[in-house]
Amino acid sequence: MSRSLLTLCLLCLSTLALADTRLVYSGHPVTIILPVGKEIRVVFPEPVSIDIPSALLENLEATQANPSVAYFKALEPSSPGRLIVQSENQERVYLIDMEASEEAIPADYLIENPSLAEKPSKVDEATSALNNPYQVELTRFAAQTLYGPTRLAPHNNAIKQVPMPTVEVADLIRSREGETYHYRPVAAWRGWGHYVTAVEVINRTPLKVSLDPRQVRGDFDSIAFQHTWLGPVGALEDRTTVYLISDNPLPLAIGGLPYGQ
């Protein structure tokens, strides 16, 4: 899995993970104190747009990595300035008083909104705005969660981790040249009415093999390999991860019709 990790790390900033500080937003401004010269992450409970006053921006480096995550770094100490953060659906506004201090302890922040948690909606989950087809969103979420830097772990209210069922996975991939594999389910999530399961695939033969989603057995909506080939057993490239998206949990999906037929 080392090459999988390396590939994803090159796409992200490599930094140390910081402890999360939880802030509960109840309509009143919350305060964030930035350490000077150190970047911190702020995770919002929903997709947002951020309005930073020009006076504060002069002393602040800010990047919005995705609609729910932003990064801030103060260049020098500063007095409080107010950020106005609006939800993408324009139904909520978050007020944040942000200042910078040499004595501030580095910490990432997780903002929680009890009003969202108290009124869960099945419709919200099913109709959450998708930038891509759900197959892409689920696969990307699983890959970044497993192999991306902890500091850049994805956050999506529509995707929830589910228990990994204890199931013996055998003959998942048809053999074409006598190759055999060992399979190990790693983790599973559910979102938008579908499941995505990450399964480690290890080559057990001295053959270099290509991986074809059409050779995977099971009733799956989408199949994506981290790599499209495997090196012979014992090589650094002898293993990868396959992301399986299905309507049902893995034990039911692997008993379904062959993929692509």
pLDDT digits (tens, 9 = 90+) for 108-128: 999 998 888 654 444 444 444
- In angstroms, how far is CA 168 from the centroid of its own chain? 26
pTM for this predicted structure: 0.52
Give the pLDDT of residue 129.
Answer: 57
Task: Give the model's pLDDT for residue 123.
Answer: 41
DSSP string, 62-98: EEEEETTEEEEEESS-EEEEEEEEEETTSS-EEEEEE
Based on the fold, state whether residues 98 and 29 are members of the same structural domain.
yes
- Please indicate, yes or no, whether residues 111 and 182 belong to a single structural domain of this protein: no
pLDDT of 4 over the 70 cut: no
State the Cα–Cα distance between residues 17 and 163, nearest whole angstrom: 25
Do the bridges between strand 40-43 and strand 108-112 make them parallel or antiparallel, or are there none, so unpaired?
A: parallel
Q: Are residues 248 and 138 in the same domain?
A: yes
Q: Same domain, yes or no, for 18 and 105? A: yes
Q: Indicate the residue among 118, 150, 180 that finishes a domain.
A: 118
Residue range(s) defining the domain that contains residue 49? 13-118
Per-residue pLDDT tens over the stretch 20-55: 788 999 888 999 999 999 999 999 988 888 888 887
Last residue of a domain, one of 89, 118, 147: 118
